[in-house]
Structure 1
Amino acid sequence: MTTVQPRVSVPVQGGVGHSPHRPDGALKVAGQFAFSSDLWADDMLWGTTLRSPHPRARITGIDLTAALALPGVHAVLTAADVPGAACYGLEVADQPVLAADEVRYHGEPVAIVAADHPETARRAAARIVVDYTVLPPVTDAEAALAAGQVVRHLPIRRGDPDAVGPVVVRGEYEVGMQDQAFLGPESGLAVPAEDGGVDLFVATQWLHVDQKQVATCLGLPVDKVRITLAGVGGAFGAREDLSMQVHASMLALHTRRPVKMVYSREESFFGHVHRHPARLRYEHSATPDGRLVSVRARILLDGGAYTSTTPAVVANAATLGIGPYEVPNVVVDAYGLHTNNPPCGAMRGFGAVQACFAYESQMDKLAAALGLDPVELRIRNGMTTGSVMPTGQVVDGPAPVARLLALVRDRPAPPPATGDPRELPGGVANTTHGEGVVRGVGYAIGIKNVCFSEGYDDYATARVRLEVMGGEPAVLVHTAAAEVGQGVVTVQAQIARTELGVQRVTVATADTAVGSAGSSSASRQTYMTGGAVRAACRAVRDRLLARLPTPDLRLAGGKVVTASGTVVADLAEVIGDEPVEETVVWRHRPTHPLDPRTGQGDAHVQYAFAAHRATVDVDTELGLVRVVEIATAQDVGKAVNPQAVLGQIHGGTAQGLGLALMEEIQMVDGIVRNPSFTDYLIPTILDMPPMTVDVLELADPKAPYGLRGVGEPPTISSTPAVVAAIRAATGLALSRVPVRPEHICTPRR
């Protein structure tokens, strides 16, 4: 077994730095991938939900008689039937499983039905008679603040609160309520188990937090609620909170039959949280040569009826609220508020999106007041390694603000329109021949934290097993990391190939049979679960190599080799009939709570940066915008999977473009008016422009492989870049997103 063999110099393909094919890629393209809505079980019932038509009302009575009398109905349950805790929540358990005495937002669940056919279940739900006494809703953030309906107030204080430079610009900004708009609606299957528990197959972002909340609401021990990740059709933050998990489980336990629930598109708009709408007031001051002196800001975030992740969103908006700039004097007050609007929580960018639109708008306004180029003003004030955040935290990793801005600025400009109507806003519809079309260019850069913050015990668990299968070494990786489309399954296999030098890697289905991997959010899974898989692989390697007497060995190409690459043994022979398995719980460096009076503290693990340049053509007579091109630059630390990195940057930019131009849940007195993809518009391939992408790999020495979270930064700076370009074309202030045609068009004379 120790006979010296030739050297191994060929690396294992599909490891870190490669872009192997995704195991789910071809299936999804071919329409063969099984999503959670495709689940099926023999003897299955269908569940549905009755929801409130009012944003606020007192429930004075519920009559279930007509619903129960309908043939095929097996159960109709209300708040009185919840077997455990009446409420759940990610940070505060304040959201009822089913409304009992009062409904607090339009679409709140009131009752649930199980029947032998989905249409029967819907008809039964329509027969439930609920008596409401309608109450006046609070739907305005300012009114909520005045009424003291504050979820969290976080002040940030740094330097002299009264300092003001000689050049001052002020602005008030508004961000509408954006939906995550994933394509796969909420769905899942609950199966009652012989031990009195339940097996739940569901599309989610955080298996173990779901497990804990579901068990609490069902009145069951945690180990009697077993959750397996079903196929997820997108998430973007909206699947962090519970939707149908408790409801399907209640119906399954009540009927002792499997129960499947699938939301319609309309119901999906009511069934998950949205991005917090925001009102932001900013004052920037600077010296005449463009050095920032102070920033003052007040940020109001409408959290809707229940808490969800509002406290954390407030923290991000506050701590990142001045942008990636060095500012000696900062006064920020960020508030999360309760209203009778739909609950708001996690969405890609998580608090940083709203703040970035405001502070980048201010930087453009300040550049105009100073007579400076807007990119030069940003570069002049940009953070570098060693800069100090408004919280007092030192940015100890790469902070290439100036370099990212220079990259997008120096990209060649897109060519002018040729006159082809397809290149004009509205031209294909023959509404214009370009008479009122003008071009504009805008820039923006943003900052985002990576991983959970403020002292949260953020960790991930990985179980790795190295064994011989079919005569060759094979690796099994098991984590609870939710694959929501971002490619974490592929990344886990890449890391295992790199660390163990084995080509054959299987990633087990994510479930609660292994320790928590945390949430697929906060751009953290490659960092956290990737770090856990790496640590577990290294523990397996060390145990295996301890079987050999020769020191300083490594694994490569299915062999055990010396540092110089000389083969010492065949890996399959060393493993033999004794597989090696290790489970590792991995944590990042500690973070700390913020001082509630000053906002000071080392709250974040890592910072990520992205910059955008947008070029737009605007028809000023019709109010139509065509985004001609977007250039972006982002530091990713290490591109673990380069193709996936590009996909994240393209996808994040698309969501930012959507917020800039079209995406908004329309609310009137607390009523949602556009719960469909007919009326809630999202960018299509025809709306997306060509993109150029510069990817920097400036390693963070404290991160696994030096990597940096990728998914959120492009969403943050793309919105203000697009709006800045429209401003440049039109000369209009444009202080609200999304920008609507009526904000742009000038009446004909």
Structure 2
Amino acid sequence: MTVEVKSGTTGGIGTSPVRPDGTLKVTGEFAFSSDLWADRMLWGATLRSPHPRARISGIDLTAALALPGVHAVLTAEDVPGAKHYGLEHRDQPVLAMGQVRYAGEPVAIVAADHPETARRAAARIAVQYEVLPPVVDGEAALDPAAERVHEAGNLLRHVPIRKGPQDLTAPVVVVGEYEVGMQDQAFLGPESGLAIPAEDGGVELFIATQWLHGDLGQVADCLGLPPEKVRLTLAGVGGAFGGREDVSMQVHACMLALHTGRPVKMVYSREESFFGHVHRHPARLRYEHGADADGRLLYVKARIVLDGGAYASTSMAVVANATTLGIGPYRVPSVTMDGYAVYTNNPPCGAMRGFGAVQACFAYESQMDRLAAAVGLDPVEVRVRNALEPGDTMPTGQVVDGPAPVAELLRRVRDLPPFERADPDPRELPGGVANTTHGEGVRRGVGYGIGIKNVGFSEGFDDYSTARVRLEVVGGEPAAVVHTAAAEVGQGLVTVMAQIVRTELGVQRVTVATADTTIGSAGSSSASRQTYVTGGAVKAACEAVRRELHRRSGGAAGADLVTVLGEGPVDETVEWRHKPTFPLDPGTGQGNAHVQYAFAAHRATVDVDVELGLIRVVEIATAQDVGRALHPQSVRGQIAGGTAQGLGLAVMEEIQVVDGLIRNPSFTDYLIPTILDVPPMHIDVLELGDPSAPYGLRGVGEPPTISSTPAIVAAIRAATGVDLRRVPVRPEHLTGT
């Protein structure tokens, strides 16, 4: 652009400007969706099934309707449009119809003038259940003789991967069976939203979500309304990690608002939130690695079973990720892998940070440690010998066409100085280590892990984002407004969009408009894709603005921007897509399924009291290629946060499900890492630009969650000598009690 812009613009890409929402959040002034309020507002509540599998033989609403202050009690018969919703496969009832398939399934909803009245009314609804034996084991669900959770059967998707010759043998073979427990996203803001009936017969929904247009399509269909009569606006989101991709109370709040003609707010309690969103799939995995005497892989055979729970959610995509990424960032000439996603009567599972790659990484990295021991190699060296390089092929046959610094990441974390005990040594303090010991039984271990993750939606999904950039004169100086439907869920996207506009247009004043459905879709804030795809759309919209400015100025050098904008604002809307992906071959799993690959490596140091089974992670070192750090401080924050979430899965986080019932739906019993559990971290950020991505960037948010878990467990194995094959690791796994 030859138009003159003011020099000295700050806060562009590559810097770390203060996040506009940061101060408000840390001071408690930020308005989250649970803070919403409207005049004459009613409160919604949900009655949920206490049984994982049962037929509904009758529902009596009389006592609930008789309670003063109750304005509506609705069941499946009151759903005005489509009776089912779902992200990929619409199999989940808005409200249970004839049967329930998991404990916690919504059966009826209530609107009342006080939240406690709504809860009391819901408790008065009398439901007659014929309790049936639940299907709760994923492997057993695959048996053709098993009871069917859905009429079509229990198999959601089978993904076979066949690469290279299928009959290879090897002089060194290691076999292992592994298990991953069900993890919760544990976001701090439970599900909430406010629905307001509109004068045109439609509804306005202010909602904490990850995907405004994903919600819009499902909500409009279930309400029996055209999409233009359902308008969604993003409310303040208190974290997501995949748990807000699916619809929860969106349709319920809108139904109650339309039925009563008044605004209706729904806010889940913490306990209800455990039933109100999907979780990470529990998994069982069997791996066989064959290698030569030097530790170079010849083949991998694997079987992965993901328990998807009662409804599909994103299980079909998750199992594809688990299998296509299931050998890790390694060069393997022969792959025989089968991934299965199955229905059970357990709570539904779907998207969570890492999206299938987490479960697979725990297994294949455990196998790499076993292989290192079998051939007498250092755990890092055996990985380096097999590390992917640019030009290598994935199990799907897709060529790795961007930077793949697998060996470099591993060497970087290995070569960092070893962690030294703090001074004074905790064993010398009152109470000793963890207030339980003076260190008599404490052993130290070091472990490594590296993982691979795809970025963006895969398998031919039309993955795009829409961005509108408006440049105008405000108060005598140029100012820009950027508008997308991309959900800011805490990852810092609003900051990055403003940085891109400042960089591309050279204007200091940038406003990021509230995300809503009055503009085209931006897709989901998941798959580490928003900076790539919505950032790409914002960049492209800015380029369109520059072209229009160039046209107006006639290409004259040095034209004043304010003068050129005197003709009126420049307003450009762009849809931007990355390079295409393609479906997997259903028989062989071959195909260019993914947009981009991202890599992270971890070294974990742990102290374990082998007598008490207590674990403390004392240091973590990590190295990750981010392509280009648009906001370096946020990049480091994403890496630290993702690592902490992987730590949680390694040693504490698990939803305890017994016979289909969640036994620990609270943060008292479902443990997540606190600041006291997260150790010092050394974070090494590489910037090896991806030539296909805007600014060369690479998705950041998920890779650290993937490789931190196996690194920590490897360190625990090194400290204890116990062959650990399940996460999270519990004290009884170490002490045998």
Shorter-chain TM-score range: over 0.9
Say yes or no: does 1:357 pair with 2:343: no
Say yes or no: does 1:704 pair with 2:704: no
For residue 180 of structure 2, what is the aligned residue in structure 1? 175
Structure 1 residue matching 2:616: 3-state secondary structure: strand
Q: Which amino acid aligns with 1:70?
A: L
Aligned residue pairs: how many?
Answer: 728
Distance 1:284 1:447 in 2: 18
Q: CA deviation at 1:548?
A: 1.7
TM-score with structure 1 setting the length: 0.96
Distance 1:428 1:717 in 2: 27
Q: CA deviation at 1:718?
A: 0.2
Q: How does 1:552-701 map to 2 (within 5 A)?
A: 568-701=558-691
| Greater displacement, 419-428 / 721-730 | 419-428
Q: CA deviation at 1:439?
A: 0.2
Contact 1:425–1:625 (CA under 8 A) maintained in structure 2: no
For residue 565 of structure 1, what is the aligned residue in structure 2? none
For structure 2, the residue ranges without an aligned partner over 5 or more in a row are: 145-152
Q: Which amino acid aligns with 1:659?
A: L
Distance 1:417 1:746 in 2: 30
Q: CA deviation at 1:419?
A: 6.1
Q: CA deviation at 1:586?
A: 0.3
Among 524, 541, 545, the alignment partner of 1:536 is 541
Structure 2 residue matching 1:146: 3-state secondary structure: coil
Q: CA deviation at 1:550?
A: 3.3
* Residues 419 and 434 (structure 1), Cα distance of their counterparts in 2 relative to 1, 3 Å cut: farther
Q: Which amino acid aligns with 1:304?
A: G
Contact 1:57–1:133 (CA under 8 A) maintained in structure 2: yes
* Residues 264 and 425 (structure 1), Cα distance of their counterparts in 2 relative to 1, 3 Å cut: farther
For residue 28 of structure 2, what is the aligned residue in structure 1? 31
Say yes or no: does 1:719 pair with 2:709: yes
Say yes or no: does 1:68 pair with 2:65: yes
For residue 744 of structure 1, what is the aligned residue in structure 2? 734
| Greater displacement, 571-580 / 630-639 | 571-580
Deviations 1:263-317 (A, max 9, x none): 0000000000000000000000100011100000000000000000000001000
Say yes or no: does 1:45 pair with 2:42: yes
Q: Which amino acid aligns with 2:446?
A: V
Structure 1 residue matching 2:543: 3-state secondary structure: helix
Deviations 1:316-350 (A, max 9, x none): 00000000000000000000000000000000000
For residue 262 of structure 1, what is the aligned residue in structure 2? 267
Structure 2 residue matching 1:466: 3-state secondary structure: strand
Among 407, 410, 424, the alignment partner of 1:405 is 410
Q: How does 1:125-274 map to 2 (within 5 A)?
A: 125-147=122-144, 149-274=154-279
Distance 1:11 1:447 in 2: 39
Contact 2:397–2:590 (CA under 8 A) maintained in structure 1: yes
Distance 1:637 1:316 in 2: 22
Deviations 1:359-385 (A, max 9, x none): 000000000000000100000000011
* Residues 423 and 361 (structure 1), Cα distance of their counterparts in 2 relative to 1, 3 Å cut: farther
For residue 499 of structure 1, what is the aligned residue in structure 2? 504
Superposition RMSD on alpha carbons, in Å? 1.5
Contact 2:428–2:438 (CA under 8 A) maintained in structure 1: no
Contact 2:48–2:107 (CA under 8 A) maintained in structure 1: yes
Contact 1:425–1:617 (CA under 8 A) maintained in structure 2: no
For residue 554 of structure 1, what is the aligned residue in structure 2? none
| Greater displacement, 16-25 / 738-747 | 738-747
Distance 1:666 1:577 in 2: 64
Q: CA deviation at 1:12?
A: 1.9
Distance 1:343 1:627 in 2: 31
* Residues 46 and 101 (structure 1), Cα distance of their counterparts in 2 relative to 1, 3 Å cut: same
Q: Which amino acid aligns with 1:655?
A: Q
Q: CA deviation at 1:146?
A: 1.0
Q: CA deviation at 1:100?
A: 1.1
Distance 2:141 2:452 in 1: 29
Deviations 1:188-228 (A, max 9, x none): 00000000000000000000010110000000000000000
Contact 1:205–1:239 (CA under 8 A) maintained in structure 2: yes
Q: CA deviation at 1:429?
A: 5.4
Q: Which amino acid aligns with 1:357?
A: F
Distance 2:434 2:604 in 1: 24
For residue 55 of structure 1, what is the aligned residue in structure 2? 52
* Residues 637 and 425 (structure 1), Cα distance of their counterparts in 2 relative to 1, 3 Å cut: farther
Structure 1 residue matching 2:684: 3-state secondary structure: strand
For residue 302 of structure 1, what is the aligned residue in structure 2? 307
Structure 2 residue matching 1:200: 3-state secondary structure: strand
Distance 1:255 1:371 in 2: 71
Structure 2 residue matching 1:191: 3-state secondary structure: strand
Runs of 4+ aligned residues of structure 1 deviating over 6 Å after TM superposition are: 422-426
* Residues 419 and 13 (structure 1), Cα distance of their counterparts in 2 relative to 1, 3 Å cut: closer
Contact 1:426–1:624 (CA under 8 A) maintained in structure 2: no
For residue 559 of structure 1, what is the aligned residue in structure 2? none
For residue 335 of structure 2, what is the aligned residue in structure 1? 330
Contact 1:621–1:746 (CA under 8 A) maintained in structure 2: no
Say yes or no: does 1:386 pair with 2:391: yes
Deviations 1:598-625 (A, max 9, x none): 0000000000000000000000011011
Say yes or no: does 1:545 pair with 2:564: no
Distance 1:653 1:644 in 2: 14
Distance 2:579 2:432 in 1: 54
For residue 148 of structure 2, what is the aligned residue in structure 1? none
For structure 1, the residue ranges without an aligned partner over 5 or more in a row are: 552-561, 563-567
| Greater displacement, 10-19 / 273-282 | 10-19
Say yes or no: does 1:524 pair with 2:525: no
Structure 1 residue matching 2:142: 3-state secondary structure: helix
Q: Which amino acid aligns with 2:693?
A: A
For residue 84 of structure 2, what is the aligned residue in structure 1? 87
Contact 1:191–1:249 (CA under 8 A) maintained in structure 2: yes
Distance 1:326 1:61 in 2: 58
Contact 2:553–2:559 (CA under 8 A) maintained in structure 1: no
* Residues 423 and 667 (structure 1), Cα distance of their counterparts in 2 relative to 1, 3 Å cut: farther
Say yes or no: does 1:19 pair with 2:16: yes
TM-score with structure 2 setting the length: 0.97
Contact 1:632–1:693 (CA under 8 A) maintained in structure 2: yes
Q: Which amino acid aligns with 2:67?
A: L
Q: CA deviation at 1:426?
A: 8.2
* Residues 423 and 205 (structure 1), Cα distance of their counterparts in 2 relative to 1, 3 Å cut: farther
Q: Which amino acid aligns with 2:77?
A: A
Q: Which amino acid aligns with 2:639?
A: I
Contact 2:361–2:706 (CA under 8 A) maintained in structure 1: yes
For residue 557 of structure 1, what is the aligned residue in structure 2? none
Among 439, 445, 448, the alignment partner of 1:443 is 448
Q: CA deviation at 1:573?
A: 1.4
For residue 344 of structure 1, what is the aligned residue in structure 2? 349
Distance 2:715 2:428 in 1: 17
Q: CA deviation at 1:256?
A: 0.1
Distance 2:434 2:320 in 1: 45
* Residues 417 and 490 (structure 1), Cα distance of their counterparts in 2 relative to 1, 3 Å cut: closer
Contact 2:196–2:205 (CA under 8 A) maintained in structure 1: yes
Q: CA deviation at 1:534?
A: 0.2
Q: CA deviation at 1:424?
A: 9.1
